[in-house]
Structure formats: structure tokens, C-alpha cells
Amino acid sequence: MQKRGGSKLSAMLRYVTKKLLIGAVIVILVPTFIFLIMQLVPGDPIELMAGERATRERIEELKRTWGLDKPAYIQYLYWLRNLLTGNMGYSYVHKQPVAHLIEARLFYTIVLTLPALLLSFIIGVPLGVIAALKRGKFIDNLIEGVVTFFYSMPTYWLGLMLMLIFGLRLGWFPISGISGVKSAVLPILTYALPSIATSARTARTEMLEVLTEDYIRTAWAKGLPSKKVILSHALRNALIPVTVMFFLYLPWIIGGAVIIETVFAWPGMGSLLYKSIVKQDYPVVQAIVFIIAVLTVLCNILGDIIAALLDPRIRLEQEEV
């Protein structure tokens, strides 16, 4: 028994080590790709910053000031060195450290997107499970219809419709900016409703698949109570992919809010990223994209590890390797 437990532990350690090594390689490569993409973007941020009336001498002076007169590979080495030491650079447009800009905006993005993310699973998963258990009945068709509607709806259009109905027509909520708790309601709904639809569809699909498994049929055949079969056997296994999906969603509490924050003039990371792309503020864009990429890698690794802990089949595969 002890040997078996040790085998499970070593298998999990190998699995975790493998995922961490792959993640480390990706994190190392991400800054390179980000820098290359920024170099390929057309336009010159210094010319935008200097203005149309700036002389060539002024533009060259600004390039020397920002270090953009050096070859691309030198700029890359400087940027990578600063990034590894925690220095995200200096914004061309805002004339302040990028870290300060991100720190000031991050709170507003979390206030907007984290509640929406939690709502998407608190509401979406039960809806999907109910639809699966009532397959083919009225409640299943109703849930499926509503879910499909919000799942296929463009985010910007949903935001505009919510602004039109609940902001302009009914006057219940502000339509833009920050003016109290009410101003967050419409952006949160805009973010949450499509996410609820995604969670519900995933939960329904996984629950239907689990209900057709042999061990569920065996549990029914043994005469086990329906509540125990559904909660202890079917639901537990159906929630494994949903749990993993929750961790995969976490990085997009920053990147996924670009459209919503732009529509509602919300001063978060998403709107900062959008404005920085438009104004070619490369240090800000590179820093935010790098943060999203690192969070994506870490959350993918965490999701895989949790799936291996929850799913015996994955643990068995690791023991056999």
C-alpha cells in the first residue's frame, strides 16, 4: 500500500515537473514574440508623440532619449534585461513607469471582471446540470434557447443594448464611467451573460456524457438513490472539465475586458491596452500582453494539475508512464 502511494506521488511529481518545464520554456519565448510583433507594427510611436509639426531633429532627439535609435536586437536585450529585473519600462504617452499605470488600472479591471467570472460559474453550471437532467423537456429547451442566444451575441452589441434599455430608456444605471456601485452593474452583466452561457453549455455537455457512462448505469442498476448517483458520481466527474475551464478563464479577466471597458469607458486594463495599441505606446502594450501570457501559462499548468488530482484516469496514465 505504501509502495502504491509512493508510486502515485512520484507520478504526480513527474507530471507537475513536466508541466512546469514546458511552461518555463513558453514564458521565456513569449517576450521574444511580443517584441517581434511590436517591431512589425506599422508606424512610428515617436512621430505620434512628437506631433505633426515636429522637426526631423526633434524626432531624432526623442529617439535617442527613448533608446529607439539603436538596432532592434539591442533594444530587445535592454527590454528583456529590464523585464527580468521587474522594470516594465516607461510609457511614451503617459510619461510615467508602466508598472504605475498597470497598478492604477488593475483594481478597476478586477472589480469589473472577477464578479462576472464568479457569476458565470455560480449561475451557468447549475443551469447546465439542470438542463442535462431534464434533457428533452421544456426546461431543457428553455435553458438551451436562452444560452444559445447569449452565447452567439457579440459582446459590444450586448453592451450597447444594455446601455440603451437599462441606462437610457429606464435610467436605472449609468451608461459610462465610474460614478458609484451602480456604474459597474451593466459592464458586469455584459461580461457575465456570455460567460454564463459558455459555462452552462459546457456543464450540460459534460453531464450528458457522464450520465451515459457504464459506472453510472451500474449505480442505477444497484438501486442507489438518485440523489447519491447524481451528486456523488455523475456531478463530481462532470465538474472536472468545468473546474479546469475556470482556471483557463482567469487570465482573461485582463485581456477579455478590452471591448467591454472600451464600450463603457471603464478605466481598467482593457481600455489601457486598447488606447496604448492605438497610440503605439509599445512599452505598455508589451507589458500587458506579457502579463496575460504569463498568467495564461500558469493557469493552464494549474488547471492541468487540478485535473490530474481530480481525475483518476489521468493519475493512472502518469503512473503507467
Tens of pLDDT along the chain (321 residues) come to 444 545 555 666 777 777 778 877 887 787 788 778 777 776 666 666 666 666 777 777 777 776 667 777 777 787 777 777 777 777 877 778 888 888 888 888 888 888 888 888 888 888 888 888 888 888 888 988 888 888 888 877 888 888 888 878 887 888 777 777 788 888 888 888 888 888 888 888 888 877 777 667 776 677 666 667 676 667 777 777 777 777 777 766 666 677 788 888 888 887 888 888 877 788 888 888 888 878 878 877 777 777 777 665 555 454 444
Alpha carbon 297 to chain centroid distance? 11
Q: Domain ranges for the chain, please list them.
A: 1-93+281-321, 98-278
Helix, strand, coil percent content, the chain, rounded in steps of 5: 80, 0, 20
Half-sphere exposure of 318 (CA within 13 A, CB side): 25
CATH of 98-278, one of 3.30.830.10, 1.10.10.10, 1.10.3720.10, 2.60.40.420: 1.10.3720.10
- Enumerate the β-bridge partners of residue 97: 90
Q: What is the C-alpha radius of gyration for the chain, rounded to an integer number of angstroms?
A: 25
| Interatomic CA distance for residues 144 and 165, integer angstroms | 24
Q: Give the number of other Cβ atoms within 10 Å of residue 311's Cβ.
A: 15
| Interatomic CA distance for residues 262 and 273, integer angstroms | 10
For the whole model, what pTM was predicted?
A: 0.73
Q: Which H or E element spans position 154?
A: none
What are the DSSP calls for 255-290, one per residue? HTTHHHHHHTT--SHHHHHHHHHHTT-HHHHHHHHH
Nearest CA among 173, 197, 149 for reference residue 266: 173
Give pLDDT, residue 319. 47
Phi and psi, residue 90, nearest 5°: -125, 130
Phi and psi, residue 97, nearest 5°: -60, 140
Contact 12, 304 (CB under 8 A): no
Q: Which three cell numbers stand for residue 262?
A: 472600451
Amino acid letter, residue 41: V
Cα dihedral 99→265→186→148 (10° resolution): -90
Give pLDDT, residue 10. 67
